[in-house]
Every structure is written in structure tokens, then in C-alpha cells.
Structure 1
Amino acid sequence: MTSVWESLTVDARDPARLARWWAEALGYQVVIDRPDEVVIRQSPDRFPGLVFVPVPDDRQVKNRLHLDLRPADQEAEVERLVDMGARHVDVGQDDVDWMVLADPEGNEFCVLRQRG
């Protein structure tokens, strides 16, 4: 027996704001918007999605799980995401071909180069 991946849950101080940020970043849409959870997906019936739930505290340490994004143009995508409120982060990655950014609440994610 196996499981099907339905969603990834993200703790957030402001779930609605962070969900909308990620929806814009990924081209997703908000499919559920309640005080206790905000869900985004590519379309209402397409899985997996991201679920944002409220927590009372800020993130304290480096993420143990993060998203990797692979855009057609890494440089342009990094610029777009930074313009949206992401910031560059150094997690000790040294000289690599991906960029580490953090979303508005400090959750790290990587922007990879185009597959070649």
C-alpha cells in the first residue's frame, strides 16, 4: 500500500498573506481561504497543494524541508521574486548554481538553473 501526496503544510504568522505570496510566485490560485487554513493549488482539483496554517511564533531555525523552483530563466525569476518581497539568504551554500531565497516570513527555498 502506498500514499498519495496531497499537500505540504507551511506554518505562518499570517497564513493569508503568505499563501497569496506563494500563489503569485507559483502561478497558483487560492482554493480555500479560512482563518485556520489557506490552501493554494494550480487548480481546485489538482494536487498537491500548499496549505498555510497559523502559528503564534516566528520561524527559529533553518528549514528542514524546502521547495526547489526551476524557472526557464533563473536570473529573471530571482529578480521577480525579490521584487515581490523575497530576499537572498546564505545558508552556507558556497559556490553553487542555484540561488537560495527566503519568502516574506523567512522560509528558505531554492531557485535552480534551467535543466540542461
Structure 2
Amino acid sequence: MSLRVYQIAVDAHDPAALARFWVEALGWSVLLENANEVVVGADEHSWPGLVFLPVPEEKAGKNRLHLDLSPDDQEAEVARLIALGAVPVDVGQSAEVGWRVLADPEGNEFCVLEPKHSLVV
């Protein structure tokens, strides 16, 4: 099968502002911006990207899908993301888990994992 994830769509009250947060968080670039969408990615040839789409309502409830971010230094990245506008959130995780749950400026949860020095695929 020839199928790949192209973009992950994110509903946003303010797509441009939320895209700017994720551009700073991931070190990506804005690839397209207009009134209907803001697309960000590592570059125009890398998949997947994130596309922020305008919606009138605010986020309600816990995400059913979220991003897991793999840092070199978990504590440094958590501090950096909080400085960018993320906030720590409790989604029911125990204190013993190896990840930190944060929410972006519109409340979308994501996890910052412990460093993964090698991934087994």
C-alpha cells in the first residue's frame, strides 16, 4: 500500500497564533498561510506537517489524539515550551510516568517524553 500521513489537522480559534507556537516549539517553518489554513512543517518536502484550521468554538474536553515529542533533554524542553506559552496539565497521569503532559496555548494536550537515544522500528 502506498499511503503516508501527509498532515495532522488541528482545529484552532486563532490558527496563525497557534501555528506560531508550534513553529517555535518544533523549529519548523510556516509553509502556507491564508484565511483558511496555516500549514507548518520541517520543510516543503517533509511529511507529516501540521495544518491549523479556523473554527469558531473553543476546545472542549481532552484530546483523543495528541503528539508525543521526543527531546534530548526533557526538563530543558519542558521549561522552553512553558516559556513559549505551554502549560502543564493533568489528564489523569500518575506521578511515576516518564512523560510530562503539557497543553499548547489553545489547550491541546501533548506529551514530552523521556529522551529516546535509539528507536527500534
| Normalised-by-shorter TM-score class | over 0.9
Ranges in structure 2 where 5+ consecutive residues have no aligned partner: none
Distance in 2 between residues matched to 1:47 and 1:38, nearest whole Å: 15
TM-aligned CA deviation for residue 107 of structure 1: 0.2
| Runs ≥4 residues deviating over 2 A | none
Q: What is the aligned partner in structure 2 of residue 29 from structure 1? A: 29
TM-score normalised to structure 1 length: 0.97
What's the secondary structure of 2:38's corresponding residue? Answer: strand
Number of the residue aligned with 2:11: 11
Give, as a single letter, the amino acid of the residue that structure 1 aligns with 2:27: G
Please report the RMSD computed on the Cα atoms of aligned residues, expressed in angstroms.
Answer: 0.9
Give per-residue Cα distances to partners, 1:46-85, cap 9 Å, x unaligned. Answer: 1110000000001111000000001000000000000010
Could you say which residue in structure 1 is the equivalent of 2:107?
A: 106
Matches within 5 A, 1:1-116: 1-95=1-95, 96-115=97-116
1:86 Cα deviation from its structure 2 partner: 0.3
Paired positions, count: 116
Residues 28-59 of structure 1, C-alpha deviations (whole Å, 9 max, x = no match)? 10000011000001011211100000000011
